[in-house]
Amino acid sequence: MNRTIRVDWPSCAARGLCAELLPERIRLDEWGFPIVEGEVTPELARLAKAAVSACPHRALRLVAAR
């Protein structure tokens, strides 16, 4: 089952590591906050987990895609 990345917006401080670690799915808006596009396919799962755990504010979560 595919998953997707959800942002805990109040926690996000626009550090931008996620976009560096998972450019396949995350880019940054003009203020530096993540724009998440598309689901996390099994091939991307490892990179996505790395991006989630690299967030200094723990503002990302992998959740089931709806």
Partner 1 sequence: MLLAGVGDGPSLSAHRARFGALPTPDLDAVLSAVGAAAVAGRGGAGFPFARKVAAAAAGKRRHVVVVNLSEGEPASAKDTALALLAPHQILDGAEVVARALRTKEIHVVTPQERPAVADAITRAVDERAAAETRGGRGGPRWQLHSAAPGFVSGQAQAVLELLAGRPGLPVTAWQPEAISGLDGRPTLLSNAETWAQVAAVLRLGPLRYAAHGTFAEPGTTLLTLPHESDPDTAVVVETAYGTPWVSVLGAAVDRPVLLGGFHGTWAGAGVLAGARVSRVDLQQQGLTLGAGVVLPLPTGQCPIAFTWEIVDYLAGQSAQRCGPCRNGLPALAAEVGRLATGNPAVSWTRIAELVGLVERRGACAHPDGTARLVRSMLTTFDDEVGLHLAGRCGR
Residues contributing to the site for partner 1 (CB under 8 A)? 6-14, 29-33, 35, 61, 63
Shortest distance (Å) from residue 33 CB to partner 1: 4
Shortest distance (Å) from residue 43 CB to partner 1: 25
HSE of 22, CA atoms in CB hemisphere, 13 A:
28
Judged on CB neighbours under 10 Å (0-12, 13-18, 19+), 46 is exposed
Residue 8 or 20: the one with the smaller Cβ distance to partner 1 is 8
Residue 30 or 43: the one with the smaller Cβ distance to partner 1 is 30
Q: What are 41's two structure tokens? A: 């396919």
